[in-house]
Amino acid sequence: MKYCMHNGGMMSWFTGNSNAPMTVTAEQAETVAQQYLDTYIPGTIVGEAEDFYGYYHVMVLSAGNGYGMFSVNGYTGQVGYHNRHETFIQEL
């Protein structure tokens, strides 16, 4: 499993084989991500879902600016919000 940061540890919600094609599409990841935001962080929107090995990285935007980020499992669609980060400055 390449870059398997989800196999145990802080993000142990990962299940599946990250070498197999993900069953959740980027569009589905963005939809479930926006549903999460509408419920827990109203007024924010999702940025484009970027695929990694077994999950999608999604930026949270507020008034067009970076607000936070989270991951969407590419096999289950489960959302993992990254609340351990400080204020977002920029993405390179």
Strands (E), the chain: 45-46, 50-51, 55-62, 65-73, 79-81
pLDDT 10s digits, 37-68: 999 999 999 999 999 888 999 999 999 888 88
Of residues 75 and 87, more confidence is placed in 75
| 25-42 burial code (b ≥16 CB/10 A, e <16) | ebebbbbbbeebbeeeee
What are the sequence ranges of the domains in the chain? 23-81
CA atoms within 13 A on the CB side of 60: 26
Phi, psi angle pair for 29, to nearest 5°: -65, -40
pTM of the entire predicted model: 0.72
